[in-house]
Chains A and B, each alone.
Chain A
Amino acid sequence: DAMVIQNPRYQVTQFGKPVTLSCSQTLNHNVMYWYQQKSSQAPKLLFHYYDKDFNNEADTPDNFQSRRPNTSFCFLDIRSPGLGDAAMYLCATSGGAGGTTEQYFGPGTRLTVT
């Protein structure tokens, strides 16, 4: 089945130790998104890629970076995780501009910072 895959599902990292979360998709969608979701809050958009064009949200901290080496893969790098970065990180895809009508989400990666 075509899907959005996130690895790992659970990630524990130490305060200040860089961590990378990964997302892959078999939907061949040209838009990929990274969201951060904390408990009882709305998913917050960090970045999105339209093909290789990178779109950074204005309030996304510099501590967060992203890479999209090809259509299928997208990575979220947290350079120096703080305790406040503990959250669920959701990757999503959509078909592109104009006719895009929905997003497809991965199961998320739960990040714990110790």
Chain B
Amino acid sequence: DQQVKQNSPSLSVQEGRISILNCDYTNSMFDYFLWYKKYPAEGPTFLISISSIKDKNEDGRFTVFLNKSAKHLSLHIVPSQPGDSAVYFCAATTLTQSTGNQFYFGTGTSLTVIP
């Protein structure tokens, strides 16, 4: 049962425009959410995160929004650049676990930024 869902497998955006990647989750115990970026032949790398006590976190061109009531988060990239072309994974975890956090991942969204 997929607890974290990314319903858009791919997204194409013109350079300079905004990219919006969406993610939904089902487990209300999740209290920390992350976005990872993955280039081909590399492992995922951490991009940005947000705690459930916040509804927005911004880091340069990247902003993550969290809507707890809707169990939905989104990643905004503005302006989009060709180097942002990659697969983006949404992940969620519960920080209160005492045996090491388990991270649950979505299936990823492949972003293509067209020059």
A binds B: yes
Stretch binding the partner chain, chosen from A14-22, A75-83, A105-113: A105-113
Chain A residues, Cβ within 8 Å of B104: 42, 45
Tell me whether A55 and B45 are in contact in the complex, defined as CB-CB below 8 angstroms, given that A40-B107, A42-B105, A42-B106 are known contacts. no
Contact of A103 among B9, B99, B103, B108 (CB under 8 A): B103
CA distance A31 to B89 in the complex (A): 21
- Are A43's CB and B89's CB within 8 A? yes
Task: Return the CB mask of B26-64 against A: 1 if under 8 Å, else 0.
Answer: 000000101010000111111001000000000000000
CA distance A43 to B105 in the complex (A): 6
- Are B34's CB and A102's CB within 8 A? yes
- Are A55's CB and B108's CB within 8 A? no
Q: How many A-B residue pairs have CB under 8 A?
A: 75
B3 and chain A: residue at smallest CB distance: A42
| Interface magnitude class on chain A | 20 to 34
- Are B43's CB and A97's CB within 8 A? no
Kindly state whether residue B4 has any CB partner on chain A within 8 Å: yes
B5 and chain A: residue at smallest CB distance: A42
Chain A interface (Cβ < 8 Å from any Cβ of B): 4, 6, 30-31, 33, 40-43, 45, 48-50, 53, 55, 90, 92, 94, 96-108
**CB-based closest 10 A-B pairs:** A105-B43, A50-B100, A31-B100, A42-B105, A102-B46, A42-B107, A100-B101, A50-B99, A43-B105, A107-B43
